[in-house]
Amino acid sequence: MGRVQGKVALVTGGASGIGLSISTLMAKEGAKVVIADFNEAGAKEAAENIKKQGGEAVGIFLDAGKADSIQVAVDFTIEQYGTITVLVNNVGLTNLQKDLDVVNLDLEEWDRLMDVNLKSVLLGSRFAIPHMIKAGGGSIINTASMAGFTGDAVRSAYGASKAAVVNLTRYIAAQYGKDHIRCNGVAPGLILTPAAKNNMPPAVLDIFAKFNALPYHGEADDIGYTVLFLASDESKFITGQTIQVEGGHYMANPSISDFNDYVTKQSK
Ligand SMILES: NC(=O)c1ccc[n+]([C@@H]2O[C@H](COP(=O)([O-])OP(=O)(O)OC[C@H]3O[C@@H](n4cnc5c(N)ncnc54)[C@H](O)[C@@H]3O)[C@@H](O)[C@H]2O)c1
């Protein structure tokens, strides 16, 4: 018996990275999974790979920036598998060219990131919740980010959108708990997805490694397993929480790494 046996999950942004890990692990543990992604071919390929491994999944197109596309994805899930009991609002975009500091960020990009990162969470939940109520309950999991808990030099829209996802998670949890619907989030720190690995210069990875409490980087499955737990009944008394999965990067006094260097130098 799988950890999410019999559940029906819609995973947005499931064709690659963190969403692919979530979709794969959910299917491995017995859920039927709809993988919805802008990259339709990637979503279909991911579903085929899951089927080859004995799981059940189907891939479809989704533009998480458009309300009607999100509605279609929820409707498709109901037509395909009869219900929806897990919704993973995982899609999230960032843009290092246009999402800058507050004075210089591009306002159109602000709106786009708010639509794709935040409004999609509202809309996916809005369309799925009536079906979850009919099913007797469900679990909604939102992919936030540690950028939603901290300030930074750039990516103001991304950080603001993710902070809002953290609090929208609480609102959904507060409003639908009595309907047996739980809503939680996961806030990744730097996760070395294939895309992140290809785009990050080694010097940037070294900076992250220096400030992690753990001596290694996060991987997509670290988030995948957390989401699997939140989707399963193992977490049935947890709601409204956003679990920070970040290797202890943000947990300690931020100057600890420099203090360690100082103490080491003094003792030589
Ligand atoms: N990787 C990290 O270090 C990290 C850190 C913190 C938070 N996150 C969050 O994790 C989530 C997944 O990130 P990832 O690193 O796996 O990204 P990724 O780029 O590897 O995958 C994102 C997926 O979303 C799809 N997508 C993009 N725009 C879409 C849209 N409008 N509609 C539907 N699908 C769309 C892409 O095609 C892709 O398959 C995001 O919400 C991101 O903000 C990631």
**Per-residue pLDDT tens digits for 223-233:** 999 999 999 99
Contact present, 40 and 16 (Cβ < 8 Å) = no
Over its C-alpha atoms, the chain yields an Rg (Å, rounded) of: 19
Does a structural domain hold residue 226?
yes
* Whole-number pLDDT of residue 196: 84
In contact, 141 and 128? CB cutoff 8 Å: no
Closest atom of ligand 1 to 69 CA is: 32
For residue 98, give its domain range: 8-266
**Higher local confidence (pLDDT), 61 or 206:** 61
Ligand 1 center–CA 93 separation, angstroms: 6
Question: Does the pLDDT at position 257 exceed 80?
Answer: no
Using alpha carbons, select from 104, 211, 113, 98 the residue that is nearest to residue 161.
Answer: 113
Say if 156 falls within a structural domain. Answer: yes
pLDDT of residue 29: 98
Whose CA is closest to atom 1 on ligand 1? 191
- Give the residue from 174, 185, 84 showing the smallest Cα distance to 137: 84
The answer to whether 256 and 210 have CB atoms below 8 angstroms apart is no
Please state, in angstroms and rounded to a whole number, the distance separating the CA atoms of residues 216 and 209. 7
Q: Work out the percent of the chain whose per-residue pLDDT is above 90.
A: 87
Who contacts 54 (Cβ-Cβ below 8 Å, separation ≥6)?
none
Would strands 86-89 and 8-12 be described as parallel, antiparallel, or unpaired? parallel
- Ligand 1, atom 13, residue with closest C-alpha: 18
Element containing residue 62 per DSSP (H, E):
none
Rounded mean pLDDT, 184-201: 91
Q: Where are the alpha helices (DSSP H) in the chain?
A: 17-28, 40-52, 67-81, 107-113, 120-135, 156-176, 194-199, 202-211, 220-231, 256-267
The overall pTM is greater than 0.85:
yes
Ligand 1 centroid distance, CA of 14 (Å)? 8
Task: Tell whether the model's pLDDT for residue 112 goes beyond 80.
Answer: yes
Q: Find the CATH number of the domain harbouring 15.
A: 3.40.50.720
Q: Would residue 84 count as lying in a domain?
A: yes
Answer whether residue 12 is part of any domain. Answer: yes
74/201 Cα distance (integer angstroms)? 38
Q: Whose CA is nearest to atom 24 of ligand 1?
A: 13
- Calculate how far, in angstroms, residue 259's C-alpha sits from the geometric centre of ligand 1: 35
Token pair for 7 = 């559940």
pLDDT digits (tens, 9 = 90+) for 194-244: 888 887 888 988 888 888 999 999 999 999 999 999 999 999 999 999 999
Whether 64 is in the pocket of ligand 1, judged by its Cβ within 6 Å, is yes
Q: Is residue 2 a part of any domain in this protein?
A: no
Tell me: pLDDT of 246 over 90.
yes
3 lies in a domain? no
Q: Which atom of ligand 1 lies closest to the CA of 195? A: 20
Nearest-CA residue for atom 17 of ligand 1: 17
Is the CB of 115 within 6 Å of ligand 1?
Answer: no
Both tokens of residue 238? 């947890």
Q: Is 13 in the pocket of ligand 1 (CB under 6 A)?
A: yes
Site to probe by mutation for ligand 1, drawn from 10, 11, 12, 16 as the one with most ligand atoms within 8 Å of Cβ, is 16
Q: Is residue 1 part of a domain?
A: no
* Residue 252, pLDDT score: 87
* Number of domains within the chain: 1
Residue 200 located in a structural domain: yes
User: Is pLDDT above 90 for 174?
Assistant: yes
Binding site membership of 196 for ligand 1 (Cβ less than 6 Å): yes
